[in-house]
Amino acid sequence: MASEQIQSLPSVILASKSKIRTRLLDSAGVKHTAFSSGIDENEIKSKLKKEKVVPVKIARVLAEKKAEKISLLYPNSLVVGADQILECEGIIFDKPKNLDEARDHLMKLRGRPHKLLVSVCLSQFGIKIWGHESEAKLVMRLLSDSYIDWYLQSMGEEAYQTVGAYKIEGLGAQLFSKIEGDYFSILGIPLLYLLSELRQRGVILK
């Protein structure tokens, strides 16, 4: 009976090629497939910024568009969309494009508090059926120039694979003096809230 129930569970698709989000779902035992949504995130984000949309709504819109696009292609699956926005003193930071941009971002963030606003949703048949937002507050140490250079040299390309140029699950933890908020949300997805919803929908066993 148990094996039949497991086989009947609906499939899950992550509308993202994010390695950390995939790793978190895998570690939590959520079997899924990951596809890039292919949406132009920069264009959407730029438009929303011009319209002075608040950061958490930008994250929500991006998460929804990712999930909805993939769910139209795979209507029998539950599609997870997620996005994360970094906001510091009214300025939204995008992923750095290279090490020079990563250095510039760290110079601007050092010694200051910033927020990570994260949105996750589920879509099916192209329609959003659930969503959740989380906010985390982080305070970066007043890093020296030499430390930033050492950090970037140590991180290499990983420094510009994430917003803020840091991964707190690794060397990035040394950048901070204080962190408030859900750990999984900081990594990129409010995992506990998502797992709870997947249980309610029978996607994973209770």
Instruction: List the catalytic residues.
Output: 83
- Quote the CA–CA distance of 11 and 79 in Å, as a whole number: 9
Q: Tokens 């606003």 — which residue? A: 117
Nearest to 79 by CA among 135, 27, 39: 39
User: Which regions of 62-203 does DSSP assign to beta strands (E)?
Assistant: 78-88, 91-93, 113-124, 127-140, 176-180
Q: What φ, ψ does residue 115 adopt, rounded to 5°? A: -115, 145
Using only C-alpha atoms, the chain has a radius of gyration, in whole angstroms, of 18
Distance of alpha carbon 137 from its chain centroid, rounded?
15
- The residues that bridge with 44 in the sheet, in sequence order, are none
CB 206 within 8 A of CB 199: yes
